[in-house]
């Protein structure tokens, strides 16, 4: 990133967002597939999971 201040703002936003994802669902619970509630609303962590995985892959 060319602008250091823009990078600092981005980094702070990323830190806040990632902390919120893990506060929302701190641990992966092992629940059998047949007992999961299919009507539940996905968490933000699940919603952004695909996008964040793509970002991680592009960095490597």
Report the predicted TM-score, pTM, of the whole model to 2 decimal places: 0.44
What pLDDT was estimated at residue 28? 55
What pLDDT was estimated at residue 18? 79
Q: List, in order, residues 6 or more apart from 25 with CB less than 8 Å away.
A: 43, 45
Closest CA relative to residue 48, chosen from 23, 18, 5, 16: 18
pLDDT in tens, 1-58: 578 998 899 889 888 887 887 776 655 555 555 555 555 656 777 777 777 777 767 6
DSSP the chain: ---HHHHHHHHHHHHHHHHHHHHHS-S-----GGGS-TTSPPPHHHHHHHHHHHHHHHH-
Residue 60: pLDDT band (50, 70, 90) is low
């Amino acid at each position: 990133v060319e602008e250091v201040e823009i990078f600092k703002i981005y980094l702070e936003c990323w830190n806040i967002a990632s902390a919120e994802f893990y506060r929302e669902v701190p641990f992966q619970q092992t629940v059998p597939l047949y007992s999961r509630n299919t009507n539940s609303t996905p968490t933000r962590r699940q919603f952004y999971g695909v996008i964040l995985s793509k970002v991680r892959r592009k960095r490597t």
